[in-house]
Each structure stands twice: as structure tokens, then as C-alpha cells.
């Protein structure tokens, strides 16, 4: 069982990375072989709109024709049994690197037939982990869940199934006094970090375990 965790955050040891670390531990607890990939370490761009993946009889039908730093990861995911994508939320959406990765990952397998069918060769379990400095009630009020559900629909249709978890009101800095951040209550932030984030990490652990079961 091969499980891949894709970190779409520029940080390798902060909220998203820690949640993915827990997901990986969950996958390992079920005997999976795991790997973590950091998108910000890879030199790549989003979809080039070349349509080579849609060209009937073409050499790149059903796969991305662009050859760059992302190519090995796309190949690994094609061979994986499960994977999860983690990203912080910037301006109500995933990071730019995460979005560019999703374009390159999704598009080659989605056909333009009447059902927008998937030609991914097998059914696997997939997931998203989203973290944000917004409180849960603000996440809902601002409609973030619409985008999360849309990503879930795309991922599930293409690969077989998808689930996601969210971590809200996350800690942004170790020392809030060093930054202009008067929009936030540092005491409440620390309380959330100490009390809620461990719960979020447990949810990530359980997600990782469920994806490889």
C-alpha cells in the first residue's frame, strides 16, 4: 500500500505540514508505505492548455505532456493506492502552488465526453486537509465549504472517492507581539493552538488511517 502526502504550504514544519505528518502516521499505523512531497521544492507551472492529454491517438493521451519538476510526482500518484493534499487557505482558496498542481493532476484524466468521465485506471481513496486562521463560524459564513465540496467532487469523480478535514483558527506565528496582527487575539490563538490543534491532528491521523484501509 503506497500513500503519498502532498504539502501545498511554503512551510515544512508548521500547521499544514504537522497535520500531514499526523495523516502519514495514521497511514503507517495501517501498514502503508508513505512519502511526503513539498510542492514548494518543485519547479513547475500549472496547466499549459495544450490539450495533448485529450488528443485521440496522441502520445500523451490521458497524461500530462509537460515535462518538468512535477512529472515524477504525477507518475508516483498514478501508481499510489491513496494520497492526501494539504494546503493552508489563502484568500478563501488553496495556495497557488496547490492549485497549479491540482490542474496538472486532474485535467489529463477528465474526458470531454457527455459524462465528463474519468480515465484514471483504478479507484483509490483520496483526501484534502485544509487549515486556516479563520474561526469555524467565519469559514462557514464566508462560504469556504462550497469550494471544499467542489474540490471533493472533482477528486472523487476522477479518482474514486474523497474526504476532507479542516483545521480552523490556527496559530500563525510563535510570537504575535512581533507582527502587525491586531485583527487577532493572541491569547485566544494560543488557547486554540494548545487545545484545538491536537484534536485537529488526531482527525488528520484518522483520515490517513481511513484512506489506506
Which domains, ranges and CATH numbers included, belong to the chain?
2-211 (3.40.50.360)
Kindly report the number of other CB atoms within 10 A of residue 193's CB atom. Answer: 16
Which residues, given as ranges, of the chain have pLDDT below 50?
none
Dump pLDDT digits (tens) for 27-39.
999 999 999 999 9
For residue 165, the model assigns a pLDDT of: 97
The pTM of the whole model exceeds 0.75: yes
Q: Which of 143, 132, 142 is nearest to 86 (CA)?
A: 132
pLDDT value of position 97? 96
Concatenated DSSP letters of 122-190: S-EEEEEEEE-SS-HHHHHHTTHHHHHHHHHHHHHHHHEEEEEEEE-S----S-GGGS--TTS-HHHHH
Q: What does the pLDDT read at residue 78?
A: 92
Question: Which pLDDT value is given to residue 75?
Answer: 95
Instruction: DSSP letter for 97, please.
Output: H
- Tens digits of per-residue pLDDT, 166-188? 999 998 888 888 888 888 888 88
User: Three cell numbers at 126?
Assistant: 483520496
Amino acid at each position: 500500500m503506497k500513500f503519498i502526502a502532498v504539502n501545498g504550504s511554503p512551510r515544512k514544519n508548521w500547521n499544514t505540514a504537522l497535520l500531514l505528518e499526523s495523516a502519514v502516521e495514521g497511514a503507517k499505523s495501517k501498514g502503508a508505505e508513505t512519502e511526503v512531497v513539498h510542492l514548494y521544492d518543485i519547479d513547475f507551472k500549472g496547466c499549459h492548455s495544450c490539450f495533448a492529454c485529450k488528443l485521440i491517438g496522441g502520445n500523451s493521451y490521458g497524461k500530462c505532456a509537460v515535462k518538468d519538476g512535477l512529472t515524477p510526482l504525477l507518475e508516483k500518484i498514478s501508481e499510489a493506492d491513496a494520497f492526501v493534499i494539504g494546503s493552508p487557505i489563502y484568500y478563501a482558496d488553496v495556495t497557488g502552488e496547490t492549485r497549479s498542481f491540482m490542474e496538472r493532476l486532474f485535467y489529463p484524466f477528465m474526458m470531454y465526453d457527455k459524462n465528463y468521465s474519468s480515465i484514471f485506471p483504478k479507484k483509490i481513496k483520496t483526501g484534502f486537509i485544509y487549515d486556516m486562521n479563520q474561526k469555524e463560524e467565519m469559514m462557514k459564513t464566508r462560504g469556504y465549504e462550497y469550494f471544499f465540496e467542489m474540490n471533493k467532487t472533482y477528486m472523487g469523480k476522477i479518482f474514486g472517492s474523497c474526504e476532507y478535514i479542516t483545521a480552523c483558527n490556527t496559530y500563525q506565528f510563535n510570537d504575535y507581539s512581533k507582527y502587525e496582527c491586531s485583527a487577532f487575539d493572541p491569547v485566544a490563538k494560543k488557547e486554540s493552538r494548545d487545545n484545538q490543534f491536537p484534536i485537529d491532528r488526531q482527525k488528520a491521523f484518522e483520515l490517513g488511517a481511513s484512506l489506506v484501509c
